[in-house]
Chains A and B, each alone.
Chain A
Amino acid sequence: MSALAGPYATDAAGHAATEAARNRRFGPLYSRNVRAVVARGLMATKSSNWMVMLSGFFEPVLYLISMGVGLGAIVGAVQGPGGQQISYAAYIAPALLAVSAMNGAVYDSTWNVFFKMNFAKLYQGMLYTSLGPIDVAMGEIFLALLRGAMYATGFTAVMGVMGLITTPWAVLMIPAAVLIAFGFASFGMGITSFMKTFQQMDWINFVMLPMFLFSATFYPLSVYPQGIQWLIQAMPLWHGVELLRQISVGAFTPATAVHIGYYLVMIVLGVALTTGRLRRLFLK
């Protein structure tokens, strides 16, 4: 199951020779039609709640203005990842971008998926067609990524306007934010598949809010005692915050690879979990 991301990743290459073997292996699970699920999602967006979508974008922007500009006036300059002095706004902006990517991906892959799974019976209908659970899972995750990418692009633009971007490397924050969104979306959808009631869905917020506040978002990790540091470092958001903060100033270390690796593992596990759950729920 750990290789589930494989066929999708090499899809574009389209090696005809391996296609038959691939079809055999994923025969009942995958029909190479992720785009139909994505197209459906885009079409449905037309009738969806734009206010909810916009609020997801504005939330980190408001934090950036109040904390970065307001609180930043008291804090002054702080030490950036490369050792140089940067403004407090420039310090927290990449962290808030990571939060923004997480929020966009999690909203789409948890609440939206929860509703479609339990009330709209959407996946039930999809799986009675040629689509397999991998098509459905990858399509829904892709939609969450699209949203994460939109938020990330918008937020990076806001950073540019506020004069918080000082290096061309900062453009790489957008694909890195998509990587973060991928990790959260694939895991979020898998976890949502276990949820049966709205009360259980609240647990997601219960995990997300402390992660947002304490993942070295607003101050460095070094303020915590060692034990707490390890706990924070085990959490996914901290890796996202650190990754984007490094990219924002173009200061890369071996830790950069660890952060990226963390998300790659999270994606593979998340997609495998989601696919397995969809299969268990709808193809029992």
Chain B
Amino acid sequence: MSSPAETGPPRYVITAENLTKSYGDVTAVDGISFRVPAGEAFGLLGPNGAGKSTTMKMIGGVSQRTSGSLSIMGLDPEQHGPEVRAHLGVVPQQDNLDEELRVRDNLLVYGRYFGLPMSYLRPKADELLEFAQLTDKAKSKVDALSGGMKRRLTIARSLINEPRILLLDEPTTGLDPQARHILWDRLFRLKEQGVTLILTTHYMDEAEQLCDRLIVVDKGRIMAEGSPASLIREYSTREVLELRFGSERNATIGAELEGIGERIETLPDRVLIYAHDGEAALEQVSVRGLRPVTSLVRRSSLEDVFLRLTGRSLVD
């Protein structure tokens, strides 16, 4: 664990250059480059099929890249798979807990896969069950756990080898809001302990909550890179006015709104007006005599950045 007091250039735990992965004619990852310093929470944000999971697999050394270079703590995961994975914790998109083993045994056995001794694993398993709030489920069968509990057990399992880097592929997909917040809280604690988090998500709020820095990926390419706040500053306005005129009029109202705010985005179900001051923009709308069914002023989010970068709206 690196302390913030260390001087000199940041130590990069992951360096990817021109990383490319093709499956036949399909290029899933198309020449992406990024570097992640130790202790950072780094996000890969993008829609399904953007190449996020493939990138994660290459980092874990379970998918061979087509070209480019990749270094995980100075090692090439293709050449040194077992050594690299000894420092990684992996939370896959779908839970793959060992259903034939009980909850605590899942942690012990997984630790054995890393060649760790039982004298270390027994107290560590209890500590992680505590961390995952599963202590009273230690002897339960895995299939008796709820979705959120299984997810927490998967995260606890990924920490058994005290990884320096934790790979989380869509960690909260399919969880209810309460379970998501519990999980986020656990991830924050890991970050505080200096674990480098690499996170893929298609939830913009999750990326904003957890990531220090992220890349927006679409069709295997990096569209933008930066902190959530700087991306919003760069690609969006401070506020957004959301107007709903009913599905009939949304498409045609654009022209009548012309000139309000800095940019207008028309979606099938609503119109977005990007403006520094959302309330002022709303006033201008009513001055023009337009009466939206509903109106909402909110702060810009990564959702808006993504819309701007990819031009992707549901109209296509």
Interface residues of A (CB under 8 A from B): 27-31, 33, 36-37, 39-40, 43-44, 47-48, 120-122, 124-132, 282-284
A121's nearest neighbour on chain B, judged by CB, is B96
Interface residue count for B (Cβ, 8 Å)?
Answer: 31
A31-B82 in contact (CB<8A)? yes
Given contacts A27-B79, A27-B81, A128-B92, contact A120 B86 (CB under 8 A): no
Interface of A is mostly: loop
Q: A120 to chain B: which residues have CB within 8 Å? A: 96, 98-100
B98-A44 in contact (CB<8A)? yes
Given contacts A122-B96, A128-B92, A284-B63, contact A43 B109 (CB under 8 A): yes
Q: A44 to chain B: which residues have CB within 8 Å? A: 98, 100-101
Give complex CA distance A124, B85 in Å.
13
Q: A47 to chain B: which residues have CB within 8 Å? A: 100-101
Q: B96 to chain A: which residues have CB within 8 Å? A: 120-122, 124-125
| Contacts between chains A and B (CB distance < 8 A), count | 86
Give complex CA distance A222, B115 in Å.
53
Q: B62 to chain A: which residues have CB within 8 Å? A: 127-128, 282-283
Give complex CA distance A25, B205 in Å.
45
B98-A283 in contact (CB<8A)? no
- B114 part of interface (Cβ distance < 8 Å): yes
CB distance from B26 to the nearest CB of A (A): 14
Q: B161 to chain A: which residues have CB within 8 Å? A: 129
**A-B CB contact pairs (8 Å), 15 listed:** A27-B80, A27-B83, A31-B82, A33-B112, A33-B113, A40-B98, A40-B113, A120-B99, A121-B96, A122-B96, A128-B85, A129-B113, A130-B83, A130-B86, A132-B82
Give complex CA distance A131, B114 in Å.
7
CB distance from B165 to the nearest CB of A (A): 13
Give complex CA distance A83, B83 in Å.
59
Q: Across the A-B interface, give the 7 residue pairs with the lowest CB-CB distance, nearest first.
A: A129-B113, A44-B100, A121-B96, A36-B112, A28-B81, A31-B82, A130-B82
A40-B101 in contact (CB<8A)? yes
CB distance from B114 to the nearest CB of A (A): 5
Q: A284 to chain B: which residues have CB within 8 Å? A: 63-64
